[in-house]
Amino acid sequence: MKLTSSTIYLSKKAFLNNIRFLKSFAPNSKFFPVVKSNAYGHGLKEVVSIVDDYVDGYCVHSTDEALEINTNNPILILGHINKSEKELIEILKTKELYFTVYSEQTVDLLEKIAGKVNKKISLFVKVETGTHRLGLDEKDALSLAERIEKSNLLNFSGFSTHFANIEDTTDHSFAKKQMEIFNRVIGEFNQKGVYKHNACSAALMLFEETRTEIVRPGISFYGYYPSRETIVSLNSKGYNRKNGLKPALSWITKPLQIKKVKAGEYIGYGLTYRANRDMVIAVLPVGYSDGYDRGLSNNGFVLVEGKRCPVVGRVCMNLFMVDVTHVERVSVDDDVVLIGKSGEEEITADTLASLTGTINYEVIARLNPYIQKKIID
Ligand SMILES: *Cc1c(COP(=O)(O)O)cnc(C)c1O
């Protein structure tokens, strides 16, 4: 009797391959993979346990994620503080956190906390270079950096920024302009030797100038290319994809029930599928609450015994049905691959993303954290 609905398998081999590949672009940079949003849906605790000896630190979005990480490596908060002062003091006693700041109030708060924990806190100032997400304009960034430098409780570690238009295009003129602004700010700062970082996956792989003291790849660490445009740009630089990234995650389930459906009968809510022949279907214990998008209704497919089996009817909250008529001797013991390889076939997050009109990032980031994880090879 099986007890779980589905399982996410994490390949240690794939993670180590991806780290090796990405580090080859920037062998002298500190490698801080981004593990926000439950490690892009892969499971924060499990991913950290796999890679902790092979990385220099981690990037997360907020302080509550930093709290979940069991590591002696430093953790860089890219976004914001969402823990109370008291909780932050507790976290800082055992963990080395680097903060990204873009307001005087946050700097004041961190200075106060540094006084209480009796430990210098490291801060990076985020520079607005054209993304208009987090960050301060040139002048304000410089004056906040000077404010931090004056404090003997705070460590001014450097500047960071984030690119707006690097994976959506093969025209990288906007990214170059952002890089110029970023470099100008650093040039104007009175102190030499501060760190700077701006390399997401696409930047790291495409632009030498972004391979600075720290790099912060996300999607590529998990084995995915940020976009088709990035692949095209990489190809034009003569690089061979075969030796590159390998998806680290597979998502597998088993049928709850196999049943026959007669020609003319319907399948699922809304009667959106009607059998035009006698068929055999498998009912699977996965639904949109697990992160299997409802947009895959009558649209997606799974793999059983190396064969593509289309989704028939609507994806429900906890269940969906697939056509397994063409799979011989199908049973409830068969592995059903939602993401991963089976025989010659493969479904990746890119496959599901293109079927549902989104990007691979969203497909994996929305995998329900409750899905159990197993580490393989
Ligand atoms: C998410 C994120 C990254 C990682 O981007 P990828 O495209 O996944 O490599 C890097 N930096 C910041 C600020 C981010 O928010």
Q: How far does the centroid of ligand 1 lie from the alpha carbon of residue 321, in Å?
A: 35
317 is in an annotated binding site: yes
CATH topology agreement for domains 12-243 and 249-376: no
Helix, strand, coil tally for the chain in percent (to 5)? 35, 25, 40
Please tell me whether the overall predicted TM-score, pTM, comes out greater than 0.85 for this model: yes
Mean pLDDT over each residue of the chain, to the nearest integer: 96
Instruction: Give ligand 1 pocket residues (Cβ under 6 A).
Output: 34, 78, 162, 200-201, 216-220, 226
Question: Where are the chain's structural domains?
Answer: 12-243, 249-376
Enumerate the active-site residues: 36, 269
Q: How far does the centroid of ligand 1 lie from the alpha carbon of residue 203, in Å?
A: 10
Residue type (1 letter), 78: L
Q: Give pLDDT tens digits for 161-174.
A: 999 999 999 999 99
Strand duo 154-160 + 121-126: pairing: parallel
Q: 12-243: which CATH topology?
A: TIM Barrel (3.20.20)
Nearest to 375 by CA among 5, 7, 4, 11: 11
Q: How far does the centroid of ligand 1 lie from the alpha carbon of residue 8, in Å?
A: 23
Task: Count CB atoms within 10 A of the CB of residue 225.
Answer: 20
Q: How far does the centroid of ligand 1 lie from the alpha carbon of residue 60, in Å?
A: 9
In the structure, what pLDDT confidence band is assigned to residue 230 with cuts at 50, 70 and 90? very high
In the structure, what pLDDT confidence band is assigned to residue 3 with cuts at 50, 70 and 90? low
Q: Pocket of ligand 1, candidates 31, 162, 167: which has the most ligand atoms within 8 Å of its Cβ, to mutate?
A: 162
In the structure, what pLDDT confidence band is assigned to residue 2 with cuts at 50, 70 and 90? low
Q: Give pLDDT tens digits for 257-312.
A: 999 999 999 999 999 999 999 999 999 999 999 999 999 999 999 999 999 999 99
**Percentage of the chain lying above the pLDDT 70 cut:** 99
Ligand 1 closest atom vs CA 200: 9
CATH of 249-376, one of 1.10.1740.10, 2.40.37.10, 3.40.30.10, 2.40.50.140: 2.40.37.10
Residue nearest to atom 1 of ligand 1 (CA): 218
Residue nearest to atom 8 of ligand 1 (CA): 218
Residue nearest to atom 10 of ligand 1 (CA): 200
Q: How far does the centroid of ligand 1 lie from the alpha carbon of residue 223, in Å?
A: 14
294 is in an annotated binding site: no
The mean pLDDT of 112-119, rounded to a whole number, is: 94
Q: List all residues 6 or more positions away from 120 whose beta carbon is below 8 Å from its beta carbon.
A: 114, 153, 154, 155
Residue nearest to atom 3 of ligand 1 (CA): 200
Nearest to 352 by CA among 303, 295, 309, 279: 295
Question: How far is the first Cα of the chain from the last one, in angstroms, to the nearest whole number?
Answer: 26
Residue nearest to atom 11 of ligand 1 (CA): 200
Ligand 1 closest atom vs CA 226: 7
Nearest to 57 by CA among 195, 240, 171: 195
